[in-house]
Structure 1
Amino acid sequence: MEIVILEEAAELGRLAADAIVALLQHRPGAVLGLATGSSPLPVYDELVRRHEAGEVSFAQARAFTLDEYVGLPPGHPEGYRTVIEREFASRVDLPANALHTPDGAAQDIPAACAAYDAAIAAAGGIDLQILGIGTDGHIAFNEPGSSFASRTRIKTLMHQTRVDNARFFDDDLDAVPVHCLTQGLGTIMEARHVVLLATGEGKAEAVQHLVEGPVSAMWPATILQHHPHATILLDEAAAGRLTLAPYFRQSWETKPAWQGL
């Protein structure tokens, strides 16, 4: 696990975008894992800027999102397919049929979840997965207590997660769905490179557990300590509780340029 601490979210976005652009230059048909939420937005904005400058194309790429609410009507402005289309996919040349999302309106939820994992496998697996982290340490919608072996499935959202997400529903907690479909921790761990972004003091406790705590289902993101290629991008506030922060800064400043991200 590599920890990178920088001053601003925009810097983190540029660094993550560097990794995605380098991947697509090497493999134009790469498979990307896309996350919603506020943390990845600087990444998407930077990728859009580079696409508009002619530096990167997504025309041959494929993308899978992490999760989707259950019960929202198709096209709802806060449905995660709508969000990822609005914030990223519609702003670049990613073909519409190359964007895949869990079907939160499926009549047969277990079958839809199994089909989603099968589609990822059929695409060759995720080459680079963007992640955020919740204040309780969840990644995707794998809430505390989630199995490390879990696959794409339906989950009940914890009250705190719904409170955190109410800002997207005009602060109306009752409007936030109770259930979601989410890639499981086992699914996420199969991605070849995981890039997690966290910003703000509100994420500092979860980041401390992720980086320096024991691996525990109570802090689901800690499973990433076992990932062979996990990159954790933090601003100063999110890194504020890390005992080893000086060492992480030193490691980044002295990292050989040839290693990349």
Structure 2
Amino acid sequence: MNMWFLLNPPGKATIHVENVDEFKWLNSSYCPVLRQLESSAMKEYYFKADHSTAGSSNLKYRNPKYLSMLNHLRFYLPQVYPMLDKILFLDDDIVVQKDLTGLWSVDLHGKVNGAVETCGESFHRFNKYLNFSNPHIARNFDPNACGWAYGMNFFDLEEWKKKDITGIYHKWQNMNEERVLWKLGTLPPGLITFYGLTHPLNKSWHVLGLGYNPSVDRSEIEKAAVIHYNGNMKPWLELAMTKYRSYWTRYIKFDHPYVRRCNLSE
């Protein structure tokens, strides 16, 4: 990563590449999910050959990405960047199409997380992600509460620290040791952790679904500040949806030696 930015200077931007191995606080005694990922029960869940519950719904959660602690670093932003008051979080499968400076002028009204809501009339609400048959979930959350998108989030880190967001995340992650509150991933604990603390952003900031939804409106894509290839059909893979791929390829330097090694087709 350091070499990439040395060879491709980012203009006026300042780039700081962090090495996760330098985060001494990132250990199993402090981070519940790291302790859980290291447990024999979790290893058996992932690596045992014969799964009696290996239906299609469970196969999704055996994707290796769910074993990565890197996915959970988003809950430790004040520790990663202790000197910052606000931060814009971007996933690695997004394309920034427009200037995002205006986000710094958005009033979060005391909330911690600025995010685009993803729910419609009956979908992408809390009951899709959380187990409402569990009394801890049923007692604390509204099943019809609107879900929101991880991938482009504007966080107020001062409010984060005041409200002990990381502590809230740890509490619920500890309670989910046996995966009875939600299965895996970072969106369910995100919905729980930032419940009542999320301010909805205008949908033009962040348009999702380019990695799975063939019906995203082209005009919405072109107006969006950020587009997100969430889903399995990433634009750098052969199974990418052709209609969306050009929004990514237009920024790729296919003649760059590093990119040529990736064996990407134009």
Higher strand fraction (1 or 2):
1
Structure with more relative contact order (C-alpha pairs < 8 Å, separation 6 or more): 1
